[in-house]
Structure 1
Amino acid sequence: MSGDDESVKGPQRVAVIIACRDARTCIASTIRACRAIPAVDLVVVVDDGSEDNTAQIARSAGAVAVRHSVSRGRASALETGIKVAAMRDRADWPPRLLLFLDPDIGESAVEASALVEAVISGLADCAIGVPVTPGKLDTPNQVARKGLRRTTGWYSTLPLSTQRCLTRAAVNAVMPFSSGWGVDIGMTIDLLAKGFTLVEIPCDFQHMMDPVHRHDGRKGTRYGDVWLTVNMRRLAGTRLPRPLRTPIEDQGPGIPYTMPR
């Protein structure tokens, strides 16, 4: 498993990155809950062109808030947040882990403690939150799961999950992110292709918004973005030969997965 420079001494801290737009009704409660997550000492909110006062509310709730004057999409907002967090790292401490959370999970944000623990403990380079009780996947998630299985052999519970904790080394290795709705599945495939270890962790996140509202707001392109992101990687040759794949029955939440190299 890949990691950061172990020669740097100091406590391991975590920066929460929240990309959002028009989230004034929920952002404050989410920020407050993030403060209860162990090792979190920085919350960065990137307001992606809101028409309301999301950034002002986030700042009042104790977050570092930055704003895009026009919407650039979630991928760009996450990248902005990562850069802001990096500027606040201390040279004598390890780079902060990065915890990507949605703006509308309110008090349930504390569930992300399990994701942080999985990465700090060394279980994986990237921990992904999935439902405690998985339900039926919608079409974009089904497409993402099929594409992920074909390219890497991993049978994901929720391939388009947006709640993730990653090491800085893992994030740096896969930037820039795919655009639109392809951010998360592109990130997952690229991390596995580069030898990083991923794990899904059951978390009881409770959302106040529908996926379209809390992300890019482009319902009509969700399927297309996912399909394009997966197939671009297939065409580029990202593929684990079947004899090397871990059987589905040996996979599941809590079990780390990586592509043999």
Structure 2
Amino acid sequence: MHEDPGKQANPRVAVIIPAKDEAERIGMTVRAVKALPFVDLELIVVVDDGSSDDTQDIARQAGAVTVRHTVNRGKASSMETGAKVVAMRAVKGETPPLLLFLDADLGESAAEAAPLIEPVIKGEADFTIAVLPRPVGAGGHGFVLGLSRWAIRRTTGWNPQAPLSGQRCLTTAAFQAALPLATGWGVETDMTISLLSAGFAVKEVPVDFKHRVSRHDLASQMHRLHQFIDVVKAVFRLRARRVHIKKHKFLKVALKQKPGEVYRVPLDKDSEI
């Protein structure tokens, strides 16, 4: 069981940005997050995941701490690497910083991330998820989104608007509880189910982020296929680990939920996860 989230004392925010071949946008993204409230400028970390361009150099020039994977290891590995770098650089004895995960292609719109930070600092939730405006011309038919939403609802009772959103702010305790992260594009679905099943509280927050739009071309279709496969793998991984909440535990809370409100299932020590 996880206790109710509490207001953060002397809050600090570390920003972790996984990036691969993002030389065009990474500099703007790093500069934008410097303006966010409570961000520790010494803890803006860009994890270059095997880029073939100048992503690392540009991120460093923009003021980020950078670390590089020599080969592409995927988003989950980049998130874990970033969190380890933050832990190594954090001041011993101080309250661990909040972890804000952002995509590298947000550019100047990364400066809009403040609404993600506020509920966690205030103690309303243990982690927040950004709900982005749907971009004009976006491709896809919602199969991956629907699968992720179904899996989360079935196992925890929560009906999210943006289950695949990678723009998230978490307490360090919440991130540690989600480890090890699922590989590939299933990381967000796996993380959400794992944390809700452990009693952590979540809140979705509308944020005016703008990023690269997925189109209808072959490359985009293949990307969505890989996303679908990875979410399926994450679901089976969770089932194998028996990570879920018994339906009678979440039914009352699930029936009362409203979009944009904090969702948390109060668990007791006898709850099965």
| TM-score normalised by length of structure 2 | 0.86
SS in 2 for 1:200: strand
Matches within 5 A, 1:146-157: 146-157=150-161
Q: Percent identity?
A: 45
Q: In the alignment, is residue 240 of structure 1 matched against residue 245 of structure 2?
A: yes
The whole-number CA distance in structure 2 between the counterparts of 1:190 and 1:125 is 13
Counterpart AA for 1:128: I
The whole-number CA distance in structure 2 between the counterparts of 1:129 and 1:172 is 20
Cα shift at 1:207: 0.4
Q: Is 1:14–1:96's contact at 8 Å kept on the other side of the alignment?
A: yes
- Structure 1 runs (4+) greater than 6 angstroms displaced: 3-6, 133-137
Q: CA RMSD in A?
A: 2.6
Which residue does the alignment assign to 2:186?
182
Pair 2,39 (structure 1): closer, same or farther in 2 beyond 3 Å: farther
Which residue does the alignment assign to 1:254?
260
Pair 70,220 (structure 1): closer, same or farther in 2 beyond 3 Å: same
Pair 3,52 (structure 1): closer, same or farther in 2 beyond 3 Å: farther
Matches within 5 A, 1:1-261: 2=3, 11-41=10-40, 42-132=43-133, 138-208=142-212, 210=214, 218-244=223-249, 245-246=251-252, 250-261=256-267
Q: Is 1:47–1:55's contact at 8 Å kept on the other side of the alignment?
A: yes
Q: Is 1:199–1:254's contact at 8 Å kept on the other side of the alignment?
A: yes
Q: Structure 1: which 5+ residue stretches go unaligned? A: none
Q: Is 1:30–1:109's contact at 8 Å kept on the other side of the alignment?
A: yes
Q: Is 2:152–2:158's contact at 8 Å kept on the other side of the alignment?
A: yes
Q: Deviations over 1:151-202 (max 9, x none)?
A: 0000000111100000000111111100011110000000011111111011
Pair 236,142 (structure 1): closer, same or farther in 2 beyond 3 Å: same
Pair 123,115 (structure 1): closer, same or farther in 2 beyond 3 Å: same
Q: Is 2:5–2:123's contact at 8 Å kept on the other side of the alignment?
A: no
The whole-number CA distance in structure 1 between the counterparts of 2:61 and 2:158 is 42
Cα shift at 1:237: 2.7
Q: Structure 2: which 5+ residue stretches go unaligned? A: 268-273
